[in-house]
Each structure stands twice: as structure tokens, then as C-alpha cells.
A = this chain, B = another copy of it.
Amino acid sequence: MAKQNKAEILTIGDEILYGQINDTNSQWISKALDAAGFRTIRKTTVGDGRGQILQAFREAAHRADLVLITGGLGPTADDLTKPCLAEFFNCALSMNEKALKEVSAFFQSKGLELTELNRQQAMLPDCCEPITNELGTAPGMWIKNGDQVFVSMPGVPFEMKHMMTRYILPKLAKTFHTEVVYHRVIKTIGIGESWLSEKIAPWADSLPDHISLAYLPSLGQVKLRLTASGSDLESLKAEVAGQTERLYPYAGKYIYGFDNDEIESVVGNNLRKEHLTLATAESCTGGFLGHSITRIPGASDYFKGGVIAYANEIKVKMLGVDESTLDQFGAVSEETVRQMAEGVAREMGTDIGLATTGVAGPDGGSPEKPVGTVWIGCHFRGETIIRKLQLWKDREVNIQASSIAVLNLLRITLSKTIEEKT
């Protein structure tokens, strides 16, 4: 098995430490390195201080084969990456003719005069090979130190991504000989992490050593990530596909997709395929369910619309819920959610009606219906499936969890229909 090269990502900038901007670069770089067969072993952010930066260089140089640095390359005095690289690698900063030509050409192309401050951007450590920045003024740097490589890139995301894609990744592929790593994410819904892990324990325990499993839980969902490493991508893919097949007897009914699949697009694609239309009647989710469905491009193929029936009078007027039902059972009840799901499908002329009603919190609970009590319903072809949820104390969490649960109800309904047809 080829050795997997270790990478570290180093981000430089006070603004990230203080939370003033979000670091989106390091996730992007992680993914790119992962796809290129590197194993990222650490991400570090330090501020704009010489001592901190040099310390981070020292630590990374001890551990990693590749150190990717972003930030600290601006033209102002608080940008210290270049002098720190020069100090760390014990070389001088001097005007790099290739870089100066490129920086000058960049300014000329924009009809701008080259200021002295910008001219300074072509001052680089002697030990580096400059990397062209086609979208900005700060050149990148490639420093080879024995078998180890340090790369410094600008922190501006679009400049960095372009430089990485166009120059750095191809150069890395030539320089390092990397092991093949293949990931597959299996997406489940409707079961908690601990229950799922108990159900699939025999399968998980039988995975071979070169395939590892990780649980990635999020609200109402658990992702299972299989990571396989070896020498041949195609055989790893085949092996992971085989292991995925073996998982179905244990947890097949919770699996809705893979990798970048989302529950909203999976049910959306099934609706489109089956030529079915959908409408929503929302009380406690207040529009979030409609938003979840319509944030998927092309949702208008199957989604006709919805009613946010927040007040009881709207449930009566727009959805045809009986006033007597509301009086007798209350808005948060099996009877009301049934009439909401059936009512919206009837009023909007759709095949399917989804409904939610509940106590999202933080107030409004009672001993019989505490905060987190939610009823969800899915009406389809004369039948309405209803579930009661007992959720949390947090309003936003309850809204999102209710929405995910009713989408799961729709998924189950559709999969029965598709099964019956086949």
C-alpha cells in the first residue's frame, strides 16, 4: 500500500480568530486534498503575529509532508507571511522578476497604475518558486524543503481556488506519489445515531481493516461515511458498493441516498418521476417546510403551493378544517392534522397533501401537550398517514425536525407506491 501523504492547512489572519469573517477556504482545501489523495491531519488558524506564525510553521514542518498556507499576503504592514517564510527558510526577500512582470501586467490589464505598495508584492523569499495569481496581485509561493513542500496562497477565496485548481493541484500530483482514498456517504433518516449503531453493529464489526466507518449525525438524520484506502480506485469503489449492499438487510429502510443527495431532492425526483403533485399545510413549521421543498431548483415541476395556516380561522377558511374539530380536539391534534393534509390536497388539487401542527415553543405548552408535541400527516390516494412526534424545547430545532419528519413520511409513502408498481 502506498504511503498516504500528510497535509496541514494553515490559515493566517486575526479576522478569523476574532470571528469577524468565516473561514470557508479551509473546508474547500480539505475536500480538494482529500480528492487528491492527501490525508489532512490538522487545520490551524493563527493571528497576524510573527511569533505565532513561525511557531505554526515549526509545528507543521515536524508533522506534515505538505503545508498549505492561506492569508497574510496583502500589501499592508500587518501581512507577515512572506517575511516569516523568508526567516523560517533562512533566505532573503528580494524582487522577483517573473512575479514583478505578472503583477505589472495585472495592473496594466485593468488600466491602473502600479503603486509602490503593489510593486512590493513581487518581493518574494529567494527560496520560493512564484505561482501566478491570475485574479489578483499577491503571487503564490512554492517552497520545496527536502521531501517537504510549503505552499503559500492568497486568502481571497476566488483567487485561492483558481490558483489551487490551475497550478497547485497539478504540481502536487507531479511531486507526490499518493495513495488512493475513496469515500462514500450513506444517508439515513428517521432513526437516531445510537439506535442505528446498535442495528448495524454486526455489519460494522465485519468491515475489513482498510474500510473505516464514521457516524455523522445531524438533525433527524445520520450519515454513515465509509472510507476505503488502497492502490486501485475502481476496486475500492466495487468493494464499497458491495459493503453498502450488505448494509441493506440491517438498515435499508432508513437509507434515502448517497453522497450529495438531500432528502428534499430525493423525494422531489420521485414525485417528478411518478408525475405526482404536492401541496403543504403548515401550522407550527410556519413556511419552513415549503421553503425546504422550494429551495431545490425545479421544485415547480411537482410543488403547487401551500397554506401557512397559523391562526385557527385560516385553518377553517383556507383548508376547510371543521370548527367543531378545533373546539373539541384543539389545533394540535390528530384530527386537525388529518383535515389539514386532506384539505390542502383538495383545495389545491394535488395528489399529495402534507401537514404539520404542533407546539414549537418556547411557550404555549400544557401538561397534555407540552412544548415539542407535533402532529404530522401525509395524505395520498384516499389515505392519510399520521404520526405524533415528541421533540425538544428549542423552537428552531422543533421547526426543522418537524419538517424533516414529514418529508420522511412522504419518502416512505412514495417508496411504498413505487414498490407496489414493481
Give me the interface of A with B, judged by CB distance under 8 Å: 14-24, 26-34, 40-48, 52, 56, 59, 74-76, 78, 109-111, 115, 117-118, 134-135, 137, 156, 158, 162, 183, 185, 193-195, 197-198, 213-219, 225, 227, 280, 282, 285-295, 297-300, 303-311, 313-314, 317-318, 347-349, 361-363, 390, 392-397, 399
For A227, the chain B residues whose CB sits under 8 A away are 18
Could you give 20 example pairs across A and B, Cβ below 8 Å? Answer: A19-B27, A19-B33, A41-B52, A43-B44, A75-B193, A76-B194, A78-B215, A111-B390, A117-B198, A286-B299, A287-B287, A287-B308, A288-B294, A290-B290, A291-B291, A304-B310, A305-B310, A314-B348, A318-B318, A318-B348
Contact B310 A307 (CB under 8 A): no
CA distance A19 to B75 in the complex (A): 30
Contact A40 B17 (CB under 8 A): yes
A23 to chain B, nearest CB (A): 7
CA distance A287 to B75 in the complex (A): 34
Q: Would you call the interface of chain A mostly helix, strand, loop, or mixed?
A: mixed
Residue among B47, B309, B392 making CB contact with A305, cutoff 8 Å: B309
A60 to chain B, nearest CB (A): 11
Chain B, Cβ-Cβ closest to A134: B393
User: Which of A135, A156, A286, A392 neighbours the largest number of chain B CB atoms within 10 Å of its CB?
Assistant: A286
Contact A394 B286 (CB under 8 A): no
CA distance A135 to B33 in the complex (A): 35
CA distance A295 to B47 in the complex (A): 33
CA distance A118 to B194 in the complex (A): 7
Q: Beyond A135-B394, A158-B396: 20 further Cβ-contacts under 8 Å? A: A15-B214, A16-B27, A16-B43, A17-B43, A20-B185, A41-B47, A42-B45, A42-B56, A48-B214, A115-B194, A156-B217, A162-B394, A287-B292, A287-B293, A287-B294, A295-B395, A297-B363, A306-B310, A317-B348, A318-B318
For A115, the chain B residues whose CB sits under 8 A away are 194-195, 198
Contact B42 A52 (CB under 8 A): yes
For A225, the chain B residues whose CB sits under 8 A away are 15, 20
Residue among B40, B197, B216, B307 making CB contact with A318, cutoff 8 Å: B307
Contact B17 A42 (CB under 8 A): yes
For A27, the chain B residues whose CB sits under 8 A away are 16, 19, 22-23
CA distance A33 to B287 in the complex (A): 34
A320 to chain B, nearest CB (A): 13
For A392, the chain B residues whose CB sits under 8 A away are 135
User: Which of A135, A214, A280 neighbours the largest number of chain B CB atoms within 10 Å of its CB?
Assistant: A214
For A363, the chain B residues whose CB sits under 8 A away are 297-298
User: Which of A15, A227, A393 neighbours the largest number of chain B CB atoms within 10 Å of its CB?
Assistant: A15
Chain B, Cβ-Cβ closest to A300: B310
Contact A397 B18 (CB under 8 A): no
A219 to chain B, nearest CB (A): 8
CA distance A3 to B59 in the complex (A): 27
CA distance A185 to B43 in the complex (A): 27
Contact B297 A286 (CB under 8 A): no
Contact A291 B288 (CB under 8 A): yes
